[in-house]
Amino acid sequence: MSWREKNLWCETLISALVSVYFFYHSFAILLSLDADSAFPVRDLTRLIISTVILSIILSTVLFTLLRMLSGDHSATVEPSDERDRLFELRSNQVGYWTLCVITAFVIGAIVINTTSADSDTLQLNIPMSPLLIAQALIAALTLASLAKAASALFYYRRGY
């Protein structure tokens, strides 16, 4: 397995762990809300900050471990070739489409929520505050990053 592929495994693992941490806690916060309760600005802000910190700590620990375990340090400066660039482009495309699809859903939810305030047939009943929208966009970015890393791994494992 090349250094680049090991790097990708770390990246995927970090994305997966951070996603699980973030969504588990954000859903816990949102589901605990009553109809009359105020939006938990402080809890969500704290969650976003702790997710960023967790991501930095995990990256530092995992990449340091990887560097220590792969004894030959010359391998760490392995230049990328045309196949690496091809896989990067393909996985960027997967990440881009994932981001587009999730963002479209978020925009759709905002539009439906805004236009259906007086409608009896179509209502989401989700308090679309700016903070919730920001959280949804962070979720989109996280999932897109995960999709990008996972698809790159798929291409490396497949070989072409």
The smaller minimum CB distance to another protein, of residues 118 and 160, is found at: 160
As measured in angstroms, the least distance from the Cβ of 92 to another protein is 18
As measured in angstroms, the least distance from the Cβ of 85 to another protein is 10
The smaller minimum CB distance to another protein, of residues 71 and 159, is found at: 159
Q: 153 with 5: CB under 8 angstroms? A: yes
* Residue labelled with tokens 């996985």: 91
Q: Can you tell me the distance from the alpha carbon of 59 to that of 129, in angstroms, rounded to the nearest whole number?
A: 31
Alpha helices, DSSP H, located in 32-81: 41-69
As measured in angstroms, the least distance from the Cβ of 81 to another protein is 4
As measured in angstroms, the least distance from the Cβ of 149 to another protein is 18
Residues of the shown chain interacting with another protein in the complex, contacts defined by CB under 8 A: 2, 4-5, 78-79, 81-84, 156, 158-160
The smaller minimum CB distance to another protein, of residues 5 and 43, is found at: 5
The smaller minimum CB distance to another protein, of residues 43 and 84, is found at: 84
Q: CB burial class (10 A; 0-12, 13-18, 19+) of residue 148?
A: buried
Alpha helices, DSSP H, located in 80-160: 82-115, 130-158
